[in-house]
Structures are given as C-alpha cells and as structure tokens.
C-alpha cells in the first residue's frame, strides 16, 4: 500500500475521526492536534495500519492516546475544555453547538463511548477494546450518556448519576 492509498483513506476518514475526538475531548484545537498526530503516525506505519480491520478506529484510538498523554503531562484534572467560541464553528463541519455543549457536559467516559459508538460508528467490542473496558460497561455508559443527552436536549432537568 502506498501513499496514494493513504491519501484516499485520509480524505475519507478525517472528518469522522475529527468529530469523534471533538466530542471525546471537548475542544476544537485539541481534537485537531491529536487527530493530526494520529494521522502522522498512521502514515509512518501505513502498511500495518492499512491491514488493520478498521483503520479509522486505529486512528481514533491513537488520537485518544495522544490526548491522554498530553493531559497527563500537564497534570490537568477532569477539566472540560470548551475551546469553541460562539463565533468560531468547528472547521468546515456541520456541528450543532447545543449538541456539542450537551456532549461536553457528560462525564468523560460517557463522552468517549458516545464519540466512538455514535460518531465513529464503531461496534461495542471495538469501543470496549479502544477504551480498555468491558463490553457491558461500554453499553452501560452509552445508555447513560444517551439518556442524559435526550433529557438535556429536550430541556428536561438532568441529574448526573
């Protein structure tokens, strides 16, 4: 597999990888930098990444690891970084601001599961593997996250369980 194949892969999967990270990490700049780093790593290992059963899942997993490493290095506690201002939409993507705010209000693990299961359209097993949790835990986080989102987006009060 050559760089032409990588370019096709990049063009086809970059947006979904970015949106997944945007939901998971809560910041346009952070998501963009982590995804860029993950795609750079994918290019340097393109032969093995191309052979992966789900190359975009590999990129998302790598980008999430990049984010975790950066977070650990700065020793930040579970800070929800809202780097999208009202006048700066996500670059070229139709992203509803109210939905992003609701997603960013979820606990980190629920946000990550929703990003992988809903935005990236990964199955439960892939999501569990990427996050290092059991498939049942993945399903529980997805259920709780989606329930909270439904309540928030319909204007009902939400209690974080």
> Does residue 160 fall inside a structural domain?
no
> Does residue 159 fall inside a structural domain?
no
> Does residue 161 fall inside a structural domain?
no
Q: What is the pLDDT of residues 6-36, one digit of tens each?
A: 999 999 999 999 999 999 887 888 999 999 9
Report the pLDDT value the prediction gives residue 79, as an integer from 0 to 100. 46
Report the pLDDT value the prediction gives residue 70, as an integer from 0 to 100. 85
Here the tokens at position 78 are: 């579970």
Which pTM value belongs to this model?
Answer: 0.73
The band of 86, judged by pLDDT with boundaries at 50, 70 and 90, is: very low
Q: For residue 80, what are the domain limits? A: 3-153
Report the pLDDT value the prediction gives residue 107, as an integer from 0 to 100. 93
The band of 98, judged by pLDDT with boundaries at 50, 70 and 90, is: confident
At 113, which CATH number? 1.20.140
Closest by alpha carbon to 17, among 64, 49, 81, 66? 64
Number of domains in the chain: 1
Here the tokens at position 28 are: 């346009």
Q: Look at the chain and count its residues.
A: 161
- Chain-centroid distance, C-alpha 42: 17
> Does residue 130 fall inside a structural domain?
yes
DSSP 75-143: T--S-------TT--STT----HHHHHHHHTS-HHHHHHHIIIIIS---HHHHHHHHTS-HHHHHHHHH
């Amino acid at each position: 597999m050559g760089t032409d194949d990588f370019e096709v892969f990049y063009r086809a999967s970059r947006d979904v990888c970015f949106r997944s990270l945007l939901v998971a990490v809560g910041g346009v700049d952070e998501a963009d930098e982590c995804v860029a780093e993950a795609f750079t790593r994918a290019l340097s290992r393109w032969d093995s990444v191309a052979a992966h059963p789900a190359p975009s899942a590999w990129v998302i997993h790598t980008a999430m690891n990049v984010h975790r490493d950066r977070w650990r290095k700065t020793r930040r506690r579970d800070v929800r970084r809202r780097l999208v201002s009202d006048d700066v939409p996500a670059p070229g993507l139709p992203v509803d601001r109210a939905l992003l705010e609701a997603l960013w209000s979820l606990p980190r693990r629920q946000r990550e599961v929703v990003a992988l299961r809903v935005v990236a359209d990964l199955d439960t097993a892939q999501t569990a593997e990427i996050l290092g949790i059991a498939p049942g835990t993945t399903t529980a986080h997805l259920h709780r996250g989606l329930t909270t989102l439904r309540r928030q987006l319909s204007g009902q009060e939400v209690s974080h369980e």
